Amino acid sequence: MRGFLFVFAACAVIALAFWAYRENYATQTAIREVRGLYSEIGAAHDRLQMLRAEWAYLNRPDRLADLADLNFDRLGLLPLRPEAFGAVDQIIYPVPPILPITDPIELSADLIDATGDPL
C-alpha cells in the first residue's frame, strides 16, 4: 500500500510538473499574442485618430462655408434663417388630379378664337 502511494505521488508530481510546464508556455504565448494585439489596437487607434483629425479639418466651418459659396449654383445653400421655418398648415394640400374631360361642351368663345376677331 505504502509503495503504491509513493509511486502514485511520484506520478502525480510528474503529471503536475508537465501540466505546469505547458500552462507556463501557454501563458507566455497568450501574453505575446496580447502584446501583439495591443500594438495592433494602438496602431489602429493612431490611424483612427488621424482620420478623425482629418475629418474635423475637412469639416471645419470655414471650409464648409467656402464650399457652400463655391457650389451655390448647384446646391443653392443659404444660411439657416428664420424665414426658412414654416407651420404645418402652410403646406399645400395635394392638388386633386384633373379628371379627363369625357363630355366636352363646345363654347362659343372657342369658335370665336377659331374664326378670328368677330368684330
Partner 1 sequence: MRTPLRPLARILKARETGENPDVIEAENRARRHAADQDKARNRAEGRLLLLGLMFFCAFAVIGGRMGTLASSVPEEPRAAAEGNPIIGQRADIVDRNGRLLATNLDTYSLYAHPHQMIDPVQTAEQLAAIFPEMDVERLKADFTGKRRFLWLRRQLSPEQMQAVHDIGSPGLLFGPREMRLYPNGALAAHILGGASYGREGVSSAEVIGVAGVERQFDAFLRDPANEGAPLQLSIDLSIQAVTEQVLAGGMALMNAKGASAVLMDIHSGEIIAMASLPDFDPNSRPQVALTGDQSDSPLFNRAVQGVYELGSVFKIFAVGQAMELGLINANTMIDTTNPLTWGRFRIRDFRNYGPQNSTTDVIVKSSNVGTARIAMQIGAERQRSFMGQLGMLEATPVEMVEAPTGAPLLPPNWSELSTMTISYGHGLSSSPLHLAAAYSSMVNGGTKVEPTLLLNPEPTPGPRIISEAVSASLVDMLRQTVVRGTASMGDVEGYEVGGKTGSADKPRAGGGGYYDDKVIATFATVFPASDPQYVMILTLDEGVETSGTEPRRTAGWTAVPVAAEVIRRTAPLLGLRPNVDMGDPVGITLTSH
Residues near partner 1 (CB under 8 A): 27, 30-31, 34-35, 38, 41-42, 45-46, 49-50, 52-53, 55-57, 59-62, 65, 79-87, 89-90, 92-93
**For residues 88 and 101, which CB has a smaller minimum distance to partner 1 in the complex?**
88
Confirm if 75 and 82 have CB atoms less than 8 A apart.
no
Shortest CB 3 distance to partner 1, Å: 24
For the CA atoms of 92, 96, 98, 103, the dihedral, rounded to the nearest 10 degrees, stands at: -140
CA-closest candidate to residue 79, choices 71, 68, 87: 68
Shortest CB 118 distance to partner 1, Å: 35
**What is the total residue count of the chain?**
119
Shortest CB 2 distance to partner 1, Å: 22
